[in-house]
Homo-oligomer: A and B are copies of this chain.
Amino acid sequence: MDKQQNIKPYVIGLDLGGTNSVFGIVDTRGNIKATTAIKTGGFDSAEAYVDACVKALEPVIEEVGGIGNINAMGIGAPNGNYLHGTIEYAPNLPWAHDGVVPLADMFKERLGVPVALTNDANAAAIGEMMYGVARGMNDFIVLTLGTGVGSGVVINGKLVYGSNGFAGELGHVATQRHEGRSCGCGRKDCLETYCSATGLARTARELLQSDARPSILRGLNPAEITSLDVSLAAGQGDALALEIYEQTGRMLGEVCADFAVFSAPEAFIFFGGMTKAGELLMKPIRESYLENVHPLFRDAKFLVSGLDGSTAAVLGASAVGWGIGK
């Protein structure tokens, strides 16, 4: 505890999402003391984005007594590379989609504090380890089910970064061979083409064509169907919507059975908007896992994050700032 007196009391956590950039000033116990946010898009350069961030941060930094009280900054960002502190070719960020942005260094230069940056799903995993359902676990896998499928793999209490800083991209394993859904990464049949919110909506559109059963979903414009629509229909017992969740969950269970033989995790933790469907999704995941997994790995737990989405991401990012997850 002696050492703690030399550590400044707060870190800045930044959850850098495709739409919003949410900041929190967080203490060592994970209390969020102040927050602010800006829109992530609408900037034509990374410099302009960082300018806007710093401007938004100034008043909240003052709220906690000024930059002298800030120990560090932690960032969770799509395509974030922890080893280099960069965002690399992030398809959804207009100011980072075709190059390598040294975002950690840019914030460090502007704020004068150390800055650590990691992939957004890794930040979520660190958030779960510090403040969520993964407390006390050394080996677990977080799968973030949102617009895409992200993941953070923790082995021996540490995030796996691999030889190039990009390990843990489980949204890009092939769920089947030689079938045909194209993925944004240029490959076919990546997990996220099926089991993200967009993938689930795509399954809905396909099933509405191939399955003749009546469905509430037939009243909607197929091009505009979202995972929320499917979830609402399933909640009303719509057979087709239930089938969509069944297929999506079963596929997740199958890939988790493959992930299990790799790192023998104690738990799979699901995070993100799609988990709001609860048992609609979790039941087929568990069932299909048990049908497909090697007998040595039957005991893995299947958990849903108990943390509020944006709070968890900010806390995870702040934990990276505290030097957790190295």
Q: How long is the Cα–Cα vector from A295 to B88 in the complex, in angstroms?
A: 12
Check A170/B261 contact, CB under 8 A, given A138-B163, A158-B156, A254-B177: yes
Interface string of A285-306 (1 = CB under 8 A from B): 0000000111111011000000
Check A264/B161 contact, CB under 8 A, given A257-B174, A294-B169, A294-B172: yes
Q: Tell me if A246 is interfacial: C-beta within 8 Å of chain B.
A: no
Please state if A166 and B264 are interface contacts (CB–CB under 8 Å). Answer: yes
Partner of A166, one of B153, B177, B297: B297
Contacting residues of chain A (164-183) with chain B, CB-CB under 8 angstroms: 164-170, 172-177
Chain B residue numbers with a CB within 8 Å of A294 are 169, 172, 185-187, 190
Q: Tell me if A266 is interfacial: C-beta within 8 Å of chain B.
A: yes
Min CB distance, A228 to chain B, in Å?
A: 28
Q: Tell me if A265 is interfacial: C-beta within 8 Å of chain B.
A: yes
Check A162/B139 contact, CB under 8 A, given A155-B155, A169-B261, A262-B262: yes
Q: How large is the interface on A (under 10, 10 to 19, 20 to 34, 35 or more residues)?
A: 35 or more
CB-nearest residue of chain B to A164: B264
Please state if A177 and B174 are interface contacts (CB–CB under 8 Å). Answer: no
Q: How long is the Cα–Cα vector from A325 to B272 in the complex, in angstroms?
A: 35
Q: How long is the Cα–Cα vector from A141 to B88 in the complex, in angstroms?
A: 25
Please state if B155 and A162 are interface contacts (CB–CB under 8 Å). Answer: yes
CB-nearest residue of chain B to A190: B294
Q: How long is the Cα–Cα vector from A167 to B296 in the complex, in angstroms?
A: 9
Please state if A165 and B262 are interface contacts (CB–CB under 8 Å). Answer: no
Q: How long is the Cα–Cα vector from A311 to B44 in the complex, in angstroms?
A: 59
A interface residues with partner B (beta carbon < 8 Å): 137-139, 153, 155-156, 158, 160-170, 172-177, 185-187, 190, 254, 257-259, 261-266, 292-297, 299-300
